[in-house]
């Protein structure tokens, strides 16, 4: 398990905790300043997702963001980057959607099938504890995700979500 301290310039000062629970499971936890319904909306509405999902330091831009966040719905995020010959797409299906409480989706872009991601939103006072549970199809798939740096983006993206939540909570 390791903890990352988000930057001091952050709107809030919460830690992101990442823990490998087994050979195929990764769990990320983070508290956000805002009620569960607003945090959930930021995870499910395309116009909000685009404002925080990709770390600014990565230098990628959304070309499209589609999210039909309902059980059986689909999502597709397409990015461009100067170093990509072709746009990069992430896509899958929503297996379970319980508004303001739980999201489960597939990550279908990998050769052997991607992880299944479960995100829970637990409101505690004025804050929301978000727990992200990724179940990978194999040990190698999780090892590859960690080695590629695909896990490390969470901290910066979550800081961007913090900034967005400041504006949404005030509205």
Range of the domain at 123: 2-170
Q: How many domains does the structure of the chain reveal?
A: 1
CA distance linking residue 155 with residue 152, whole number of Å? 7
Q: Where are the alpha helices (DSSP H) in the chain?
A: 36-44, 46-49, 139-147, 153-170
What digits encode the pLDDT tens for the residues 33-70? 999 999 999 999 999 999 999 888 888 888 999 999 99
What is the CATH number for 32?
3.30.530.20
- Mean pLDDT, residues 154-167: 91
What digits encode the pLDDT tens for the residues 66-108? 999 999 999 999 998 888 889 989 999 999 999 999 999 999 8
CA distance linking residue 58 with residue 55, whole number of Å? 5
Q: What angle do the packed helices 153-170 and 36-44 form, to 10 degrees?
A: 120
pLDDT of 159 over the 60 cut: yes
pLDDT of res. 59 = 82
């Amino acid at each position: 398990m390791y903890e990352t301290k988000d930057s001091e310039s952050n709107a809030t000062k919460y830690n992101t905790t990442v823990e490998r629970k087994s050979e195929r499971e990764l769990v990320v936890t983070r508290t956000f300043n805002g009620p569960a319904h607003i945090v959930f909306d930021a995870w499910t509405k395309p116009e909000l997702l685009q404002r925080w999902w990709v770390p600014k330091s990565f230098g990628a831009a959304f070309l499209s963001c589609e999210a039909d966040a309902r059980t059986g719905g689909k999502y597709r995020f397409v990015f461009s980057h100067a170093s990509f010959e072709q746009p990069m797409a992430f896509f899958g299906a929503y297996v379970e959607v319980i508004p303001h409480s739980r999201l489960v989706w597939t990550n279908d872009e990998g050769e052997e099938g991607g992880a299944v991601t479960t995100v829970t939103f637990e409101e505690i006072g004025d804050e929301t504890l978000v727990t992200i549970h990724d179940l990978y199809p194999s040990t190698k798939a999780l090892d590859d995700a960690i080695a590629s740096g695909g896990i490390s983006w969470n901290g910066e993206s979550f800081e961007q979500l913090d900034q967005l939540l400041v504006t949404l909570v005030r509205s």
